[in-house]
Amino acid sequence: MRAQREVWGETLALLGESDPTLVVVDGDLANSTKADLFARRFPERFVEVGIAEQNMVGIAFGLWTLGYRPWLSTFGVFLTHRALDPIRMLVSQTGASVRLAGSYSGLLNGSSGKTHQDVEDLAIMRAMPHMTVIAPADDIEAEAVTRWASDHEGPVYVRFARDAVGRVFPEGYEFIPGRTLVLRTGAEVALVSTGVQTSRVLEAAEALARQGVDAAVIHVPTLKPLDAESLLDSLGEHSTVITVEEHSVLGGLGGAVSEVVAERRPGMTVHRIGLLDEWSESGPNAFLLDKYGLSSMRVAEQVVDLLGTAGATAP
Amino acid sequence: MRAQREVWGETLALLGESDPTLVVVDGDLANSTKADLFARRFPERFVEVGIAEQNMVGIAFGLWTLGYRPWLSTFGVFLTHRALDPIRMLVSQTGASVRLAGSYSGLLNGSSGKTHQDVEDLAIMRAMPHMTVIAPADDIEAEAVTRWASDHEGPVYVRFARDAVGRVFPEGYEFIPGRTLVLRTGAEVALVSTGVQTSRVLEAAEALARQGVDAAVIHVPTLKPLDAESLLDSLGEHSTVITVEEHSVLGGLGGAVSEVVAERRPGMTVHRIGLLDEWSESGPNAFLLDKYGLSSMRVAEQVVDLLGTAGATAP
Amino acid sequence: MKTEEAASTSRRPAKAPGCSIAEMQATARSARWHILHTVANSKAGHIGGPLSMTDLVVALYFSELRIDPEWPDAPLRDRFVLSKGHSAIGLYSVLALRGYFPVSELATFDHGNSRLQGHPDMKLTPGVDVSTGSLGQGLSAGVGIALGAKMRGLDFRTWVLLGDGELQEGMVWEAINSAARYGLSNLTAIVDLNGLQQFGWPRVEGRDRFDRSEPWSHVDLEAIFRGFGWNVVQVDGHDFAAILAAFEEVRERADEGRPAVILARTVKGEGISFTRGTYKWHNGVADEQQLATARAELGMDEVAR
Amino acid sequence: MKTEEAASTSRRPAKAPGCSIAEMQATARSARWHILHTVANSKAGHIGGPLSMTDLVVALYFSELRIDPEWPDAPLRDRFVLSKGHSAIGLYSVLALRGYFPVSELATFDHGNSRLQGHPDMKLTPGVDVSTGSLGQGLSAGVGIALGAKMRGLDFRTWVLLGDGELQEGMVWEAINSAARYGLSNLTAIVDLNGLQQFGWPRVEGRDRFDRSEPWSHVDLEAIFRGFGWNVVQVDGHDFAAILAAFEEVRERADEGRPAVILARTVKGEGISFTRGTYKWHNGVADEQQLATARAELGMDEVAR
Ligand SMILES: Cc1ncc(C[n+]2csc(CCOP(=O)(O)OP(=O)(O)O)c2C)c(N)n1
Ligand SMILES: Cc1ncc(C[n+]2csc(CCOP(=O)(O)OP(=O)(O)O)c2C)c(N)n1
Ligand SMILES: [Mg+2]
Ligand SMILES: [Mg+2]
C-alpha cells in the first residue's frame, strides 16, 4: 500500500508525458504533497507560487484560459478556507478545469494539529455550485481518480490522505463517477463511508462480525454530484444506516446521505459518526483515531451502541 | 417594516451607548451595511479596515483580546469565502466573541449578481465547529438577534438581508436561541424556512390555503446549534416536510432538517426547495425570486407539485 | 496543447486604425453618457469608478489593444482584465462603442437574463476575458495569463485595471510578487488612482483631494512597486496624449524583463459636474434633472445632431 | 470595558533582570538543543525555522519583553505573536527556560492531550498570546492588539515574528497597510530572513545563499516597508548585541508615529552543522548520531556538568 499523496504525485509525473496541458501549481508544499515528483520531471510545467493560496487559484485560472489544465498542490484546509473566494469566482463560476488536490485531509497530518486539519472540506465544497467532490478510499482508487480528474473538464476537488491505509480495491479497479460501491454485504446495518475512512470501516465490519453483528459496508467516493439512485440501490432494504467519516457530522457525507434518505427512503434511519462539531489536536494517528472515535475498534463500539439504543441521538 | 441591515445599524448605534466593549470593524461597506449609523455616533469605536476582509477578522480578534467585542461589517459572501481561514483559526478555534454580520445575504443584493450573492453561507458556517449561525426572519427578529448576539460570548454568524420583507413577528418578540417557531398550523404539510424567506413562505401558505392546501409554517432562526428537540416538537406528527431557503439545497437548512429527521423521525419525508446547485445572476428582486423559485407564488406551486408526486425527487 | 496549433498559426489582431485624440475624447463622452443613463434606467449600478476609468479604457480599446471585435476570442489577442469589476458598465459601454455588441444592448444591463451582468462575466459577454466582481483577484488571473503566454511562447500583452481601494486586498500583493518573480514583462497593471473608494476614512484636510480619504495618500506607491521590481509610470489618467505615451513606454521597456504598472491619477466621477470628486456617487441613480445636466455637459445633443 | 479597571490599575511587568549576552548565548544553545531532541523524541516537527529564530526569541524573552512568567496574562504585559506558528517548539523551549512551565513538559510536545500543540494554542499554553499555524495571520492580530491598546490607552508593546516565506501571504500586506494607516508605533514586526521556506524555487547561482532560492532575493524589502510608511531596522539575527540595539532603536523611535519592522538576517537551521542553511531540515527527525553531534556542537555536555 502506498500513501495517496505519493500515488497522486507519481500519477501526475506519468500523465505529464502524454498530456502537455497538465501543469501543477504549488503553494510551497510540493515536498509534502509529493507534487515534487512532477516538478522534477517537468520543471517547465511546474509553477511555484509560494505561500499564497488565493494567488495560486488565480494563476491556475489564468493558465487554464490558455489551454492548460492545472492541478493545485497544497494542504486541503488552505484551499477550502484560505482560497475559497477565488475558487468560487474564478473556478466554479467560470467552469475552469482547475483540479484541486486537498492533501493531508482529515485529522491525520503528522501531528500538525487543528490549524492544519480539515474536517469541513466535504461540507464546504459540496455546497459550492458546479463543484465535483471526490474522496478516494485507498491508493488504487486515488490513482484512478487522479487519472479521471485529469481528463475531466470542469472544477474538481479531490481529498487525499497523507498516510497509507489498508487496501480496499483490487489492481485494475475502474473509477466510475457517482457510483457507490457495496464492499461488503450484511443484513443488520449498512455502514456508509468515504475517503480513507472506508478502509477503517471495513476493519470495523470484520470486528463487528466477530461480535456477531452482520454489517454491510458501502463506499461513496463521489460526494458530488451524488448519484442518489446508485446510493439507494446500495442501501437496498436496510432499515438502519450509519455514516462514518473523518469529517464533521454536519453537512458532509452524513449530511448528503441524510438528504437523500429523508427524501427518498422515509423509514430508513440514518445515524452519523464523525467529528461532533469539535476541533481536534496534535497527536499520533492511532491516538487521534481512537480519541475522536474513528479507529476501527471505536467505530465498531459506536455501531454496537447505536444498534443497541433505539432512536439513539448523535449529539 | 424596515430593512434588516438598517435595524442592525440602528441597534448597534443604540447598544454602543451602554456597551463600551462594542466596536464595529468595517470592510469599506459601512454605507451599504449601515454600520455607518454606528460610525457617525461612535467614530472612536469604528475601525475602518478598507477592502481587506481577512485583515478585518485578524484585527477584530486582536481587539477582542483587549476586552472589546467587535461586530464585522461587510457582505456575507466576503466573510464566508474571503475570510474563512482567519475566522476558523482566530475566531472559532479561539472562541473569540467576534460577531460576523453577513449582510446582503442570499440573492437579493441590488442587482450585483452572482459574485456578490451568498447561497452557501449557512452550509459553510454550519460546518465550522463552535460557530453559532442565525438567520432572522424580519426586522423585529433582526433587532432581537442583534441584541442577543451583542451580549453573547463566543463566535456568532448572523445573516442579514438588504431589503425589507413582510412582517413576521409582533413588536416585543423575544428571541430564544435554538427555539424553532410554529408560525402557522396546518394539517397537510409542514413548510420549514429560515431568514427572510420565512416571510415569503407565510405568503405561500396563504396562497396554498386559497387553493385548499392546509400548510403549517415553521421558522428555524438558529441553524446552529440546532435544537433538535424544538424542531421535532414543531414538526409534530407531520409526514411531509418541505424546507424552503434562499440558499443552496445542499447542506443548509434543508441539510440540517434532513440530518435530524433521518435520524430521529424515520417515516417523515423531507423535500428541499432552494437553489439547485446553481449560480444566480443580476436582476430585480421580483425577477430573481420568480426565476429561482423563491417567490411566494413559485413556492406554492412547487409545494403543490411535491404533494402531487409521491416520493418526488428534488434534483 | 489542445489549442497549440490554432494559436501559433492564428494571426495576431491589429491595433485599431489610427483614431485621433479628438475622436477618443468624443468616444469617452459618449461612454460616460451611456454609463450614467444606463444605470439610471436599470435603477442600480456604479457611477464614480466607471467614469474615472473611462479615458483609460477608451485609450486601450480605441488605440492600444490588438483585438478584433469580430473575433473576440482570437488566441493572440491582447487580454484585458477589469479587476475592479464593479465598473462593468464602463467596460460594457466601451465594448459596445467598439463594436463587440449593439449599443442598444446596454439597455439590458442588470436586467434579468442579460449578457451584461452587474459584474463582468466571461461566459456571457463577448470581449470580456475574465470574470470579476470580488475585488483583488484580477491581477492573479493576469499573472496566470501572462505566465501561460510566456510558457507557450504566445506573443500578446495582458492588461489589468485595478482600483486604488482594491489595492488594499492582500491577494493583489501576492500577485505583485509573483509577477516580479516570473519577470512578466508581458503584463501591465493600471491603477485607477481616483482618490476614493466606497466608504473609506474621513478626509484629512490639506492631504486628501476629495470628500473622503485617499486610499493611498499615506504611502509611497511608486517606491513600493519599484521595491517589488516593477517598472512604474505615473500618468494623468484623463490626458489621452499622456496615456498613449505611457502605453508606449510600457511596450518599449518590455525587454527589461519586469512587469509594469501605470499609476494613473484620475478623479472619481470625472466628466460630470455633480458626480465628480465625491464618494457619494460611488454608485447612484441620476434623476431627470441630473440626466439633462450631464447630457449637456457631455455634449450629447451635438452628437445626436 | 469589562477589564478596564483591572488593566489601568494593574502594574506593568518589569523587564527581565539584566541578563548578559554570554548568558543569552548559553540559553540559546539550550533552546536549540531542546528543539532538536524534542522533535526527535516526538518523531515529527519543524527544525530550521525554530533554530533560525532562537536568538531573536531569547533576546525578546530574556531582555526586551516586559512580561511575568508568574502572571502570564498580566493586562499590561508586552505581547508576542509567533506568526510563523510552525516554529512553535522554538517558542515553547524559550518559554520553558524562562519559567512559564517546566522544561520537562517539552517532552509532551505533539503528543496527544498536550498543552504544547504542533502550532501555538493560546487557550492551552501559558505565555502564548495568539494562536497561529495558518501562516500570514499573526500581523493582523498584532495590528488589532496594538490598535486596541491605543484605543484604551494601555502602555505596552506588541511584537510579531514572521517568516520570510510567510511574507508571501497577502493578508500580511493587508496588515502592513493598516499598521501604517493607524500609525501604530506600539507595534514591531520582526522578519526572520533565514533565506529559505519549505520548498520554494531552485536557487540562483551567485544570488541565493543556500540550496534553494531566497524568498525575497528578487525584491528590495526595505524600500517596500519604507514606502508603506514603516521604520525599518536591518540586523544580523544571530548577533545579540546588534539585536538588543535594534530593539532599543525601535523603542526610542516610537514617538515617530510609525510602526517598525526589524529585518533580521538569519540562517535557517542556525547553530547545528547538519541543519544549517538547507531547506531539507525545514522539518525532520534527528537520529542518534545526529543528536550526539548536535549535543557536542551546542556544548550541552558542559551545561549538564
Ligand atoms: C472582495 C470585495 N470586497 C468588497 C467589495 C465591495 N465593493 C465594491 S466596489 C468597492 C470600493 C472599490 O474602491 P476602488 O477599488 O477604489 O474602486 P473605484 O474607486 O474605482 O470605484 C467595494 C468595497 C467587493 N466587490 N469585493
Ligand atoms: C497558510 C499556510 N500555507 C501553508 C502552510 C504550510 N507551511 C508551513 S511552514 C511553511 C514554510 C514557511 O516558510 P517561512 O515563512 O520562511 O518559515 P521558516 O523559514 O522560518 O520556517 C509552509 C508553506 C501553512 N502553515 N500555512
Ligand atoms: Mg478608487
Ligand atoms: Mg524562511
Alpha carbon of residue B86 to chain centroid: 21
Residue C2 — very low, low, confident or very high, per pLDDT cuts 50/70/90?
very low
* Residue D129 contacts residue D166 (beta carbons within 8 Å): no
Distance from CA of D213 to the nearest CA of C (A): 11
| Chain B neighbours, 3+ Cβ pairs < 8 A | A, C, D
- Per-residue model confidence (pLDDT) at position B314: 39
Q: Which residues of B are catalytic?
A: 53
Residue found under cell 453618457: C33
The verdict on a CB contact (< 8 Å) between B89 and D132 is: yes
Q: Which residues of A are catalytic?
A: 53
Interval B269-290: pLDDT, tens: 999 999 999 999 999 999 999 9
- Per-residue model confidence (pLDDT) at position B198: 98
B139 CA from centroid of ligand 1 (Å): 27
Q: Which residues of D touch C207 (CB under 8 A)?
A: none
Residue C305 — very low, low, confident or very high, per pLDDT cuts 50/70/90?
very low
- Per-residue model confidence (pLDDT) at position D305: 40
List the helix and strand counts (H, then E) for chain D: 10, 5
C295 CA from centroid of ligand 3 (Å): 24
Q: Indicate if the pLDDT at residue D59 is higher than 80.
A: yes
* Residue D167 contacts residue D197 (beta carbons within 8 Å): no
Q: How far apart are CA A251 and CA A254, in angstroms?
A: 7
Ligand 2 site-directed mutation target among A51, A112, A118, most atoms within 8 Å of CB: A51
Q: Burial letters for D155-177: b for 16+ Cβ neighbours within 10 Å, e otherwise?
A: ebbbbbbbbbbbbbbbbbbbbbb
Residue C117 — very low, low, confident or very high, per pLDDT cuts 50/70/90?
very high
Residue D281: CB partners within 8 Å, gap ≥ 6? D47, D48, D268, D269, D274, D275
Task: Give residue B295's identity as a one-letter amino acid code.
Answer: S
Q: What is the rounded average pLDDT of the residues D149-162?
A: 98
Distance from CA of D217 to the nearest CA of A (A): 14
B285 CA from centroid of ligand 3 (Å): 28
Q: Indicate if the pLDDT at residue A311 is higher than 70.
A: no
Q: Which residues line ligand 2 (CB under 6 A)?
A: A 28-29, 51, 78, 82; D 48-49, 52, 84, 86-87, 133-136, 163-166, 192, 194, 196-198, 215, 268, 282
Residue found under cell 510608511: D229
Work out which ligand 1 atom sits closest to the CA atom of C166. Answer: 15
Q: Indicate if the pLDDT at residue B232 is higher than 70.
A: yes
Query: Count of CB atoms within 10 A of residue C123's CB?
Result: 11
Q: Which residues line ligand 1 (CB under 6 A)?
A: B 28-29, 51, 78, 82; C 48-49, 52, 84, 86-87, 133-136, 163-166, 192, 194, 196-198, 215, 268, 282
Comparing CA positions, the residue from B119, B77, B108 lying closest to residue B3 is B108
Q: How far apart are CA A250 and CA B127, in angstroms?
A: 6
Q: Across all residues in chain A, what is the average pLDDT?
A: 97
Query: Count of CB atoms within 10 A of residue B233's CB?
Result: 13
Share of chain A above pLDDT 70, in %: 98
List the helix and strand counts (H, then E) for chain B: 13, 12
Comparing CA positions, the residue from B260, B265, B303 lying closest to residue A266 is B265
Q: What is the rounded average pLDDT of the residues D281-290?
A: 98
Identify which of D110, D133, D200 has the shortest CB distance to residue A115.
D133
Give ∠ CA D273-D277-D278 in degrees, rounded to 5.
100
* Alpha-carbon distances of D28 from D52, D61, D91, rounded to whole Å: 11, 11, 11
- Per-residue model confidence (pLDDT) at position C1: 45
Identify which of D173, D221, D222 has the shortest CB distance to residue C173.
D173
Under DSSP, is residue B223 helix (H, G, I), strand (E, B) or coil?
Answer: strand
Residue A137 — very low, low, confident or very high, per pLDDT cuts 50/70/90?
very high
Q: Which residues of D touch A111 (CB under 8 A)?
A: 42, 44-45, 110, 118
Residue C8 — very low, low, confident or very high, per pLDDT cuts 50/70/90?
low
- Per-residue model confidence (pLDDT) at position C189: 98
- Per-residue model confidence (pLDDT) at position D6: 53
Distance from CA of C228 to the nearest CA of D (A): 5
Q: Which residues of C touch D220 (CB under 8 A)?
A: 226-227, 229
Q: Which residues of C touch A19 (CB under 8 A)?
A: none
- Per-residue model confidence (pLDDT) at position C303: 54
Work out which ligand 2 atom sits closest to the CA atom of A75. Answer: 4
